[in-house]
Amino acid sequence: MEKLKKIWLNGHLIDWENAQIHILTHTLHYGSGVFEGIRCYKTAKGPAVFRLKDHIERLFYSAVVLEMDIPFSQQQIEEAVLQTIKANELEECYIRPIVFFGDKMGLNPKGAPLHIAIAVWPWGAYLGGKETVDVKISKYIRMHPGSADIKAKMCGYYANSVLASLEAHKENFDEALFLDYEGFVAEGPGENIFFVEQGKLLTPKSDNILAGITRNSILKIANDLGIETKEEKISPERAKLASEAFFTGTAAEVCPIGKIDDVLIGQAKVGEITSQIKKVFEQVITGNNDAYLSWLTFLK
């Protein structure tokens, strides 16, 4: 990763190389942290962070689930994000706030020092910038919703995603796709998924997925475009019959899918509805669509 200037840690901007943690950090050993992925985009009015408030609200929700008492307000963390971007003199970047327990061993983190950090760095197309990506249905299932609070974004959950990603890449696919415990389509390792069926936009119900902020944005955009949307259970067989499919997420943005397993989706071309939604989304994040300017927080 490119070395930058500053990382925000516990209320202070420190030099990148000094952002160190103890080897017995609880979160390193047990996954007991919470985090967010956020993007800042270059616009004609200067750098702007996409849906900053919503991301920080979820960060605080996740922290409550892990009984973490963050010693800053949500507004202070939002300001810290903007401060960190400025300190690194970036016009576009990926933003990673993380809340983690410090040095303490044993599963119960009570008594461990609590830390919060914000790092930023340039990050381009997450899935390689291809026109469409090839996706493999994973042999691993998405974590059972009865195993944890799936509305929270916890570090430990992503061991599941790492396994699926390793499997997919080993078999020369760009990304994996999870089924849920009932055998229905859930999501990617770090993305939500949409399908187009007879001109309608379908996406899995939110009860077995992390219902992402980008996913929510796409549902709003599609509704405003007059595209009928529906959240429902989707079997893998039905998914492979879709005329279009695409991933959404902070890292992936809107990423068209050209193949699921060995089945081509829409002849592996970007479909009309996907293209329409992707175009509006790109207008939104670059500040070129006034209807959604409230989703952007501009650096002062």
pTM: 0.96
Can you tell me the mean pLDDT for 221-249? 98
What percent of the chain has a predicted confidence (pLDDT) above 70? 99
* Shared-domain flag, residues 281 and 139: yes
Catalytic site positions: 153
Asked whether residue 3 carries a pLDDT value surpassing 90, the answer given is no
Asked whether residue 177 carries a pLDDT value surpassing 70, the answer given is yes
Query: What is the CA angle 259-188-209, rounded to 5?
Result: 135
Domain range enclosing 81:
6-121
How much is the pLDDT for 124? 81
* Shared-domain flag, residues 185 and 211: yes
* Shared-domain flag, residues 88 and 167: no
CATH assignment at residue 112: 3.30.470.10
* Shared-domain flag, residues 50 and 153: no
How many helices and strands, by DSSP H and E, does the chain display? 7, 16
Domain count, the chain: 2
Tell which of 91, 121, 151 closes a domain: 121
* Shared-domain flag, residues 17 and 149: no
* Shared-domain flag, residues 103 and 148: no
* Shared-domain flag, residues 116 and 205: no
Asked whether residue 252 carries a pLDDT value surpassing 90, the answer given is yes
Whether 291 is in a domain gets the answer: no
* Shared-domain flag, residues 142 and 270: yes
* Shared-domain flag, residues 138 and 273: yes
Whether 269 is in a domain gets the answer: yes
- Each residue of 205-240: b (16+ CB within 10 Å) or e? eeebbbbbbbbebbbebbeeeebebebeebeeeebb
* Shared-domain flag, residues 141 and 212: yes
* Shared-domain flag, residues 65 and 176: no
- Each residue of 269-289: b (16+ CB within 10 Å) or e? ebbebbeebbebbeebbbbeb
